[in-house]
Amino acid sequence: MSGVVERWPALLVPGLTGSKEDFIAVLQTLAQSGRRVLAIDLRGQYETSGPDDPDAYTCAALGADVDLLAQTVADGEPMHLVGHSFGGLVTREAAIDGRTKFASFTMMSSGPAGIVGRRARHGKEIMKEIPVLGLEHVWATRFEPEALANGVPDDIVAFLRKRLLANSPTGLSCMAEQVLTAPDRTDELCQIEVPTLVLYGEHDDGWPAELQSEMAARLGAECMVVPGAVHSPAVEAPETTAAALVRFWNEAERMHLDKRSNTMS
List the domains of the chain with CATH numbers.
10-264 (3.40.50.1820)
Q: What local confidence, expressed as pLDDT, does residue 52 receive?
A: 96
pLDDT of res. 75: 80
pTM: 0.94
Residues of the chain with pLDDT under 50: 3-4
Contact 208, 109 (CB under 8 A): no
The residues facing 222 across adjacent strands are: 197
| Residue 5: per-residue pLDDT | 53
Q: What is the DSSP string of 16-30?
A: TT--GGGGHHHHHHH
| Residue 122 CB-density burial (10 A; 0-12 exposed, 13-18 middle, 19+ buried) | buried
Looking at residue 76, its pLDDT comes to 81
Other CB atoms within a 10 A radius of the CB of residue 60 amount to 13
pLDDT of 4 reads 47
Average pLDDT, the chain: 94
